[in-house]
C-alpha cells in the first residue's frame, strides 16, 4: 500500500532524511519511533505531501504521490497540535471537514464515545487542550480510509479517552487498515504496535516486531531495548 | 477553493477584530458626514484615511491570520484538496471579510445621509472600489511575505516595513528625486514611479474622479495631462488590477513548492 524509496530531505543545511526505504504492505499497526529530531514528523509530512522531498519516491496504493493530490483521500491524518479556527463551533468544524472531503463520516458514534456532545455548539477557542485533542480524533477517525496516520495521538487525553482510543485503533486494524503511529510513550507503543520502525538520524535503523527487537538487543524490557539501540549507536 | 473561502470567511466575520474594524468605519463615516455636511469633503477626508489605513490593516491581518492558523493550514493540507485552493481560498477569505467591513461600515452612514439622492454617488463608489483594491493588494502582499518567512518576527517586520515604505517613504523619495532632477523632463519617470505604488495610484484615481486639481499634486497633474480624466481612470484601475493579479499568481506559484 505504502512504498517509500530512497527518500531524502534537507532543510537548509540540516539533512533530515538520508535515504529512507520503507514498505507497509499489509494491515497492521506500525509505530514510528526515534529520538527528537530523527525525522519522524518529516517522514509523515512527506507521505502526506506537506513536505516536498529532494530525492526519492513515495507511492500510496501503487501510484506515485507527486503531482497528484487525490491520493490523500485514502489517508486519515491526526496532526500533532490541535489548533482550529477560533470562531467556528465544534459542530461547524466537523461538518466543514466532511464537506471538504465530500464524504459522510460516522461522527455521531465518536462524539458519543468521547463524550463531547456538551461542547458541540461551543467555539473552538473556548475548549481545553484535551477536549481539542478529542475533537481532533473525531475529525480523523470519522472517515473510513484505508490508511490512518496518528502523530502523537495520546497528547492531553484522560485515561478513559485513552482506553477508547486504543479500542478504536484496534477496531480499525481489524478492518484491515494500515495504521502509522508516532509516539514517545513507550508503553503505548508496546501495547499497540505490531511492528516498530526505529528512525535515527534520518535513516531506518530498525524495522521489525517487538520480539525481534528484544532478541536483537538481548533485553527483556521494551524500553530498555530501545535505549540499548541508542547506546549501540554511540559506541 | 470556494469551500475553503466560505468557511474562512464565516470564521473571520465573527471575529472581534472584524467588528472593531466595522465599527471604526461606521463611526468615521458618521462623524465626517454629520459634522461636515459636505459630501465631497467627506469623501476626500475618507480617502486620506483609507489610503493609509486600509493597506496597514490589510497587511497586518493577512500576516496575523496566516501565523495564527498555521496548524489549521496543516490540517487542511492533509485533506484531499489542491494546495493552491487552500491558500487562494484563505487569501480571499481574509481579504473579502476585510472588504465587507469597509463597505458596510462606510456604506451605512452614507446611505443614511441620503447618498442615493446625491450626485456624488459615483465618487463614493469609486472610494469603495479603491478601498477594495487596496485590501486585495496588501493582503496578497502580506501572504507573499509570510510564505517566504516562517519566522513570525521577520514576517511582521517586513510587512510593517512594506506598509511604511509604500505609505510614507516612497512619497518622500519620489519628491526628493523630483527636486534633485528638476532640470530634466520628469513626466514619464513620475508616471512610471506612480504605477509602482498602489497607494499613490489610488490617490490619483480618486482625485481624478473628484476633479480637484489643487490636490492632484505633480504626479496627478502629469497623469491628467497625459491621459485625460477618462483614460487616466482606466489606466490607473488597470494598474491596480495588475497589482492584485501578480502577487496572487506568486502565492499560487510559491505555495506549491513550499514545505510545511
A184-209: pLDDT as tens digits: 888 888 888 888 888 888 888 888 88
Pairwise CB contact (< 8 Å): B71 & A83: yes
State whether the Cα torsion A17-A20-A23-A28 is positive or negative.
negative
Instruction: List CB contacts (< 8 A) between B94 and chain A.
Output: none
- Tally of CB atoms within 10 A around B220: 23
Instruction: List CB contacts (< 8 A) between A146 and chain B.
Output: none
Average pLDDT over residues B15-28: 91
Q: Are strands A75-78 and A14-24 parallel, antiparallel or unpaired?
A: unpaired
Give the pLDDT of residue B158.
95
Give the pLDDT of residue B214.
63
B76-128: pLDDT as tens digits: 888 888 888 899 999 999 999 999 999 999 988 888 887 777 777 888 888 89
What is the band of B147 on the pLDDT scale with cuts at 50, 70, 90?
Answer: very high
Give the pLDDT of residue A227.
81
Higher pLDDT, A3 or B229: A3
A99-128: pLDDT as tens digits: 888 888 888 888 988 888 899 898 888 888
Pairwise CB contact (< 8 Å): A86 & B78: no
d(C-alpha A196, C-alpha A130), whole Å: 27
What is the band of B21 on the pLDDT scale with cuts at 50, 70, 90?
Answer: very high
User: Which residues pair with residue A3 across a beta bridge?
Assistant: A23, A59
Output the average pLDDT for chain B: 86
pLDDT-wise least confident of A78-87, B39-48, B103-112: A78-87
Give the pLDDT of residue B216.
65
Q: Are strands A2-11 and A14-24 parallel, antiparallel or unpaired?
A: antiparallel
What is the band of B250 on the pLDDT scale with cuts at 50, 70, 90?
Answer: very high
Give the pLDDT of residue A233.
58
Domains and CATH numbers, chain A: 2-234 (3.40.50.300)
Query: Closest Cα of chain B to A219: distance in Å?
Result: 38
ipTM surpasses 0.95? no
Tally A–B CB contacts below 8 A: 72
Closest alpha carbon within chain A to B66: A85
Give the pLDDT of residue B213.
61
Higher pLDDT, B230 or A33: A33
Residue A235 has pLDDT above 50, yes or no: no
What is the band of B38 on the pLDDT scale with cuts at 50, 70, 90?
Answer: confident
Q: Which of A63, A69, A126, A151 to mutate to test the interface with B (most CBs of B within 10 A)?
A: A69
Domain holding B204, by residue range, is: 2-154+163-257
Pairwise CB contact (< 8 Å): B77 & A49: yes
Relative orientation angle of helices B198-210 and B121-148, to the nearest 10 degrees: 180
Give the pLDDT of residue B247.
94
Instruction: List CB contacts (< 8 A) between B260 and chain A.
Output: 45, 50-51
Residue B54 has pLDDT above 90, yes or no: yes
A210-233: pLDDT as tens digits: 888 888 888 888 888 888 877 765
Higher pLDDT, B40 or A52: A52
Higher pLDDT, B227 or B153: B153
Give the pLDDT of residue B88.
93
What is the band of B222 on the pLDDT scale with cuts at 50, 70, 90?
Answer: confident
Question: Which one of B80, B257, B258 has the shortest CB-CB distance to A70?
Answer: B80
Output the average pLDDT for chain A: 85
Q: Are strands A14-24 and A28-33 parallel, antiparallel or unpaired?
A: unpaired
B170-218: pLDDT as tens digits: 888 888 888 888 888 777 787 788 888 899 888 888 877 777 666 666 6
User: Which residues pair with residue A180 across a beta bridge?
Assistant: A30, A149
Instruction: List CB contacts (< 8 A) between B12 and chain A.
Output: 87
d(C-alpha A54, C-alpha A51), whole Å: 9
State whether the Cα torsion A136-A165-A72-B255 is positive or negative.
positive
Give the pLDDT of residue B156.
94
Closest alpha carbon within chain B to A86: B11
Give the pLDDT of residue B159.
94
SS (H, E, C) chain A: CEEEEEEEEEECCEEEEEEEEEEECCCEEEEEECCCCCCHHHHHHHHCCCCCCCEEEEEECCEECCCCCHHHHHEEEECCCCCCCCCCEHHHHHHHHHHHHCCCCCHHHHHHHCCCHHHCCCEHHHCCHHHHHHHHHHHHHCCCCCEEEEECCCCCCCHHHHHHHHHHHHHHHHCCCEEEEECCCHHHHHHHCCEEEEEECCEEEEEECHHHHHHHHCCCCHHHHHHHHHHHHHC
Q: Which of A83, A93, A99, A103 to mutate to test the interface with B (most CBs of B within 10 A)?
A: A83
pTM over 0.80: yes
B interface with A, Cβ–Cβ below 8 Å: 3-4, 7-8, 10-12, 14-15, 68-72, 74-83, 257-260
A122-179: pLDDT as tens digits: 888 888 888 888 888 888 888 888 889 998 888 888 898 899 899 989 988 898 889 9
The answer to whether A222 and A190 are in contact (CB under 8 A) is yes
Instruction: List CB contacts (< 8 A) between A86 and chain B.
Output: 11, 15, 68
What's the total number of domains in chain B?
1
Amino acid at each position: 500500500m505504502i512504498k517509500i524509496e530512497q527518500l531524502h530531505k534537507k532543510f537548509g543545511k540540516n539533512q533530515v532524511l538520508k535515504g529512507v526505504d520503507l514498505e507497509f504492505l499489509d494491515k497492521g499497526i506500525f509505530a514510528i519511533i526515534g529520538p527528537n529530531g530523527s525525522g519522524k514528523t518529516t517522514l509523515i509530512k512527506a507521505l502526506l505531501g506537506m513536505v516536498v522531498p529532494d530525492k526519492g519516491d513515495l507511492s500510496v496504493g501503487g501510484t506515485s504521490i507527486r503531482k497528484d493530490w487525490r491520493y490523500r483521500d485514502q489517508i486519515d491524518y491526526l496532526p500533532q497540535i490541535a489548533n482550529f479556527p477560533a470562531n467556528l463551533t465544534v459542530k461547524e468544524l466537523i461538518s466543514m471537514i466532511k464537506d471538504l472531503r465530500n464524504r459522510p463520516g460516522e461522527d455521531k458514534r465518536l462524539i458519543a464515545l468521547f463524550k463531547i456532545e456538551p461542547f458541540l455548539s461551543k467555539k473552538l477557542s473556548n475548549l481545553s487542550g484535551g477536549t481539542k485533542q478529542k475533537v481532533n480524533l473525531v475529525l480523523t477517525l470519522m472517515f473510513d480510509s484505508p490508511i490512518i496516520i496518528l502523530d502523537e495521538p495520546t497528547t492531553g487525553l484522560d485515561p478513559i479517552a485513552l482506553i477508547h482510543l486504543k479500542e478504536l485503533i484496534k477496531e480499525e486494524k481489524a478492518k484491515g487498515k494500515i495504521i502509522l503511529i508516532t509516539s514517545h510513550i513507550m508503553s503505548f507503543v508496546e501495547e499497540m504496535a505490531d511492528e516498530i520502525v526505529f528512525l535515527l538520524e534520518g535513516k531506518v535503523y530498525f524495522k521489525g516486531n517487538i520480539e525481534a527487537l528484544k532478541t536483537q538487543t538481548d533485553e527483556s524490557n521494551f524500553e530498555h531495548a530501545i535505549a540499548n539501540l541508542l547506546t549501540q549507536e554511540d559506541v | 477553493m470556494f469551500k475553503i473561502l466560505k468557511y474562512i470567511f464565516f470564521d473571520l466575520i465573527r471575529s472581534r477584530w472584524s467588528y472593531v474594524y466595522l465599527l471604526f468605519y461606521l463611526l468615521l463615516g458618521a462623524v465626517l458626514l454629520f459634522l461636515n455636511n459636505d459630501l465631497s469633503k467627506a469623501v476626500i477626508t475618507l480617502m486620506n484615511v483609507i489610503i493609509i489605513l486600509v493597506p496597514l490593516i490589510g497587511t497586518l491581518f493577512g500576516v496575523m491570520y496566516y501565523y495564527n492558523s498555521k496548524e489549521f493550514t496543516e490540517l487542511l493540507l492533509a485533506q484531499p484538496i489542491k494546495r493552491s485552493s487552500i491558500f487562494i481560498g484563505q487569501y480571499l477569505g481574509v481579504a473579502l471579510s476585510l472588504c465587507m467591513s469597509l463597505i458596510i461600515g462606510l456604506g451605512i452612514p452614507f446611505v443614511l445621509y441620503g447618498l442615493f439622492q446625491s450626485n456624488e454617488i459615483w465618487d463614493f463608489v469609486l472610494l469603495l472600489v479603491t478601498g477594495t483594491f487596496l485590501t486585495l493588494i496588501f493582503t496578497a502582499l502580506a501572504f507573499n511575505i509570510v510564505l517566504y518567512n516562517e519566522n513570525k518576527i521577520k514576517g511582521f517586520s517586513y510587512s510593517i516595513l512594506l506598509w511604511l515604505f509604500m505609505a510614507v517613504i516612497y512619497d518622500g523619495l519620489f519628491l526628493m528625486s523630483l527636486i534633485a532632477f528638476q532640470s530634466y523632463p520628469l513626466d514619464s519617470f513620475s508616471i512610471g514611479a506612480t504605477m509602482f505604488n498602489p497607494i499613490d495610484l489610488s490617490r490619483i484615481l480618486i482625485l481624478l474622479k473628484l476633479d480637484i486639481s489643487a490636490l492632484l499634486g505633480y504626479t496627478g497633474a502629469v497623469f491628467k495631462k497625459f491621459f485625460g480624466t477618462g483614460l487616466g481612470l482606466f489606466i490607473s484601475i488597470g494598474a491596480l488590477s495588475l497589482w492584485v493579479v501578480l502577487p496572487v499568481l506568486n502565492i499560487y506559484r510559491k505555495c506549491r513548492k513550499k514545505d510545511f
